[in-house]
Amino acid sequence: MSEMNQLINEQLQWFVLGFTVLILVLLIVAMVQGSRLRKMKRRYEAMMTGTGVEDLESLLIDLKNQSDMLEDGMRDQAAQLEAAQVKIRSMKSNVALKRYNAFGERGSDLSFSLAVLDEDRSGVVLTSLHNRENSYIYSKPLQNGESSYPLSPEEKEVIALALQRS
């Protein structure tokens, strides 16, 4: 044991020097950490000013609630958009008109056929036949591009023209 005491006494200056260096390193590390902590606290306070919220937890909860509200709004808008797309598909937006001289007499192209169809090829064909004495108007419903009534060549042509525009 005396040998150990003698060894410690001989090396005491190196132990003290080593512990002094260790304490200085720990002091520097503590100062650096304190500086980082102050900087982080300033950034946190700068972030929190003007939000009207006391702590970060409340801010995150508010942001989560706002995010949920936005997602609900987006779902509602997606449903409305889908409903509008369904409604648009059923609108009669494919229209074609053909004027012609139905009777080959003197005169001009006063007769016409008009097709009004939706994307499902359903709608109506209106045909007006005009001559010097009379004028006749016919309406023929269409389902999937077909009519339960016979179609004239002009009506078939105007249906084809309307379907080309879709």
Strand order in the sheet with 94-100: 94-100, 111-117, 123-130, 135-142
Instruction: Summarize pLDDT for 57-92 with one digit per residue, the tens.
Output: 887 888 899 999 999 999 999 999 999 988 887 777
What one-letter code names the amino acid at 154? E
> pLDDT tens for residues 88-118?
877 777 899 999 888 776 667 889 999 999 8
Q: How many residues does the chain have?
A: 166
Backbone conformation region of residue 123, classed left if phi is above 0, alpha if psi is from -120 to 50, else beta: left
Task: Name the pTM for this structure.
Answer: 0.52
CA-derived radius of gyration, the chain:
44
Q: For 79-123, give the DSSP string.
A: HHHHHHHHHHHTS--EEEEEEE-SS-SSS---EEEEEEE-TTS-E
**Other CB atoms within 10 Å distance of the CB of residue 44:** 12
pLDDT of residue 146: 87
The CA-based dihedral angle spanning residues 143, 145, 146, 150, taken in that order and rounded to the nearest 10 degrees: 120
